[in-house]
């Protein structure tokens, strides 16, 4: 059953290796097809994994007693037990995004400049958290430990996969193993949430789907919008206790 928890990591690894192989063999063909075809295929490819994860989550939800059976086999670190071990998922969920900035500081070139990738990451976190929060309020699914009705989807897992997808977008082109490490860390967060009896398996799969698709969508939107503006325009959000808005600077 532990294979279920590795689905996000395994799906990503297979897709990443296939995509890189295809890109090497067909780079000339892709260039000839034009920008519109490339973009369309990119949207499709980057949607396959989150759609698959969301579908798996719904299947587990629909099959009677399946999520309970999975929980009984995977839950070993009950947070209400005196033997509870802190697995560190509260911090690990941000590790891939921290790694992205650390690797950039060490000399690896990210696909976006510091301000651009920071805006993208902030928007991805905000949009993902918005989807998770509202879905929790609508679904009202009890957690496995019966502590509250905020189980579906897993917020920790969604945040972890936002960070992993961010790392993949910014530095994954250098080596697939950079992306693999990020998705492996995110998968660990999902596993830890089930192991401590805070979430069902379907919560974690749906959380990972939300994190991936919302980050991808943020990149699609940001890269699309930024092309509409000249290079001497800087756009960034402003969020603080006094105000919330958008900063726009035009360099003459």
pLDDT in tens, 186-241: 999 999 999 999 999 999 999 999 999 999 999 999 888 877 765 655 666 565 55
Mean per-residue pLDDT for 5-22?
50
CA distance 25 to 59: 36
State phi, psi for 208 to the nearest 5 degrees.
-65, -40
CA distance 119 to 98: 15
- 17 pLDDT band, cuts 50/70/90, is very low
Burial of 120: CB neighbours in 10 Å, binned 0-12, 13-18, 19+: buried
Paired residues of 234 in beta bridges:
249
């Amino acid at each position: 059953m532990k294979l279920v928890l590795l689905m996000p990591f395994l799906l990503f690894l297979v897709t990443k290796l296939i995509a890189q192989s295809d890109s090497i063999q067909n780079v000339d063909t892709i260039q000839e097809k034009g920008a519109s075809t490339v973009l369309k295929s990119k949207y499709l490819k980057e949607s396959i994994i989150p759609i698959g994860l969301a579908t798996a989550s719904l299947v587990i939800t629909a099959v009677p007693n399946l999520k309970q059976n999975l929980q009984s086999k995977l839950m070993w670190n009950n947070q209400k037990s005196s033997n509870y071990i802190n697995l560190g998922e509260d911090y690990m969920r941000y590790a891939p995004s921290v790694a992205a900035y650390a690797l950039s500081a060490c000399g690896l070139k990210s696909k976006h400049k510091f301000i651009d990738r920071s805006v993208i990451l902030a928007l991805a976190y905000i949009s993902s958290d918005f989807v998770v929060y509202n879905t929790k309020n609508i679904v009202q699914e009890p957690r496995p430990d019966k502590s509250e009705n905020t189980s579906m989807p897993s917020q920790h897992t969604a945040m972890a996969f936002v960070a992993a997808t961010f790392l993949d977008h910014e530095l994954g082109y250098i080596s697939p193993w950079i992306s693999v490490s990020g998705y492996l860390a995110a998968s660990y967060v999902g596993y830890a949430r089930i192991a401590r009896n805070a979430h069902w398996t379907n919560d974690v799969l749906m959380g990972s789907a939300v994190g991936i698709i919302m980050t991808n969508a943020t990149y699609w939107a940001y890269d699309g919008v930024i092309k509409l503006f000249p290079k001497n325009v800087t756009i960034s959000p402003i969020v603080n206790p006094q105000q919330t808005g958008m900063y726009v600077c035009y360099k003459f």
